[in-house]
Structure 1
Amino acid sequence: MRAPRPRAILAVLGVLLLTACGTAGATDGAERATEERVVRVAAAADLKFALEEVADLVAEEHPDVRLDLTYGSSGTFVQQITNGAPFDLYLSADRGYAEQLVDAGLAAPEDLFSYAVGRLVLWTPDGSALDPAPGLTVLAPEDAGTVAIANPEHAPYGRAAVAALRAAGLEEQVRPRLVLGENVAQAAEFVRSGNAQAGVVALSLVLADPLRGHGRWVEVPVDSYPRLDQGGVVLSGAADLGAARAVREVLLGAGGTEVLERYGFSLPGS
């Protein structure tokens, strides 16, 4: 029996390689078809816990979409996005900031939307001698200690807190004792950790699991500060506009609004 010729061996190897390449190509194509569609979200800090639940709803309705969530100050995000930060969806604690991005040509007018109305509370930590029940007036005495708020320079909740203190006639008395957080979540953390004796922070945060049941709080009258109309926008430079818009629809849908209401947000138009 003669040994196989070299040319015959090469021909067989060529067929095997083509078959292998075809199989690999089909596998790669299947993997690409099931790749995650990542939506990079710049979100106001008051959404920190509510948005985690909305992300679960997104996963249920759109299994191929995943949220990459970054929380911070709404004003700081505007600066970052204007300077080219790679976000797809922006959720602000002040709709005005989202409108600025539309005016700057970074988002289309039809991609602007309102999603919630935020609310302020006066919160004191466990063990504090301060009873918040009477409202902001308990902060008047100097021995009431330090008061945490978000930085009003770029955080809507900080501006609202200053306005509420001014409406109560307490701005000048309390200002020297203010401790400023980079955002409202950090201001709440100052209170939780004992680095501030009280805080004027977001209702959504004190209703969330890490803070729920700790300390005492009372809602600040909504007519004492500018209405916290919260709005967002899908950015024109989004890597996947369809996926970013799908996330927006989940947030504005029945499931998303139920989550927002559970965390103390009012709905637009209310």
Structure 2
Amino acid sequence: MSVIRRRVLTVLAAAPLCLSSLSPLQAQTVPTVAAASDLKFAIEEVAARFEQETGTRLRLVFGSSGNFKTQILQDAPFHLFMSADESFVHQLADAGKTEDRGRAYAVGRIGILVPPGSPLKADGEFKDLAAALKDGRLQKFAIANPEHAPYGARAKEALQHAGLWDAIQGKLVLGENISQAAQFATSGSAQGGVIAYSLALAPAMKNLGSFALVPESWHRPLKQRMVLVKGAPPAARAFYQYLSSPGAQEVMVRYGFAMPKE
């Protein structure tokens, strides 16, 4: 495996991830953003622009939205939650943990990624995946854990739509989040996987495999929502507003996200 490839996979797998290296004292005062792992590359770029323009530092932590929801319910020290599934934000609001019900910031997409040398083809309608299940080519296939990762839940729905869920379950390698699923799909741990479009579009991923979008109609929409946790400091509020700016939205669109209509 090349040095560049190892670095990319390390970046995808690492969590928590911080935009800046912070001392323990700084970590207590710097606003912390808990962001779904599909946002890894896009939000790092947006946050870097925000830091450059405002001089305000941020701490970015990436992981599965379901796990973040549970941690915030247990009073984890997060200030802004960027979920890959709006239902988690609504649950936190109903529990009185957030300032309001937040706002939608993006709609995500999923697709199949196949690494170089895999016997699979990047076919968004899973026709080759179905054939590979029958002819024995498929040994391992990666998705995020559908129990707490929204992108994993949508991958399950798409595989169910294609009639493959029951047959493929014994072949699945489950990532803790969608970034780890992408790591499995490109590292040799699996022969491919369903990952976020936003990760596939990242420059660091462009040489790690072929990608094809899954039809949107094959799964529930990935309506992504963000919200301020109660007691969020002014800097977190400023970044929350900045995420709706034209510059931030331009970055999000470049990484394959659609802008919400609300």
Q: 1:100 aligns with which of 69, 91, 95?
A: 91
Q: 1:207, 1:263 within 8 Å by CA — same for their partners in 2?
A: yes
CA 134–233 in structure 1, closer or farther in 2 if over 3 Å, else same: closer
Q: 1:37, 1:66 within 8 Å by CA — same for their partners in 2?
A: no
Q: 1:120, 1:203 within 8 Å by CA — same for their partners in 2?
A: yes
SS of corresponding position for 1:210? helix
Alpha-carbon separation, structure 1, partners of 2:124 and 2:178: 22
Identity in percent: 46
Alpha-carbon separation, structure 1, partners of 2:237 and 2:205: 31
Alpha-carbon separation, structure 1, partners of 2:123 and 2:214: 10
Q: 2:120, 2:137 within 8 Å by CA — same for their partners in 1?
A: no
1:216 and 2:210 matched: yes
Range 135-144 or range 161-170, more displaced: 135-144
Q: Whose Rg is larger?
A: 1
The amino acid across from 2:152 in the alignment is G
Question: Over the residues paired in the alignment, what is the CA RMSD in angstroms?
Answer: 1.5
Alpha-carbon separation, structure 2, partners of 1:77 and 1:170: 30
1:136 and 2:130 matched: no
Alpha-carbon separation, structure 1, partners of 2:206 and 2:29: 33
CA 257–197 in structure 1, closer or farther in 2 if over 3 Å, else same: same
- TM-score, normalisation: structure 2: 0.85
SS of corresponding position for 1:66? coil
SS of corresponding position for 1:144? coil
Question: Which consecutive unaligned segments of at least 5 residues does structure 2 have?
Answer: 1-27
Deviations along 1:103-145, whole A, 9 cap, x unmatched?
1111122x60110001001010011121113631222224222
Deviations along 1:68-92, whole A, 9 cap, x unmatched?
0110000000111111110000000
* Cα offset, 1:184, TM superposition: 0.3
Q: 2:106, 2:223 within 8 Å by CA — same for their partners in 1?
A: yes
Q: 2:240 aligns with which of 224, 248, 256?
A: 248
1:116 and 2:106 matched: yes
Q: Which residue number corresponds to residue 261 of structure 1? A: 253
CA 84–125 in structure 1, closer or farther in 2 if over 3 Å, else same: same
Alpha-carbon separation, structure 2, partners of 1:99 and 1:112: 8
Superposition misfits of 4+ residues, deviation over 3 angstroms: none
Q: Which residue number corresponds to residue 116 of structure 2? A: 126
Q: 1:236 aligns with which of 222, 230, 254?
A: 230
Question: Which consecutive unaligned segments of at least 5 residues does structure 1 have?
Answer: 1-35
- TM-score, normalisation: structure 1: 0.82
Q: 1:40, 1:68 within 8 Å by CA — same for their partners in 2?
A: yes
Q: How many equivalent residue pairs? A: 231
Q: Which residue number corresponds to residue 52 of structure 1? A: 44
* Cα offset, 1:62, TM superposition: 1.6
The amino acid across from 2:243 in the alignment is L
* Cα offset, 1:209, TM superposition: 2.2
- Equivalences for residues 1-270 of structure 1 within 5 A: 38-63=30-55, 65-109=56-100, 112-133=102-123, 135-140=125-130, 141=133, 142-238=136-232, 240=233, 242-269=234-261
Deviations along 1:152-195, whole A, 9 cap, x unmatched?
01000010000000001111111111110000000000011110
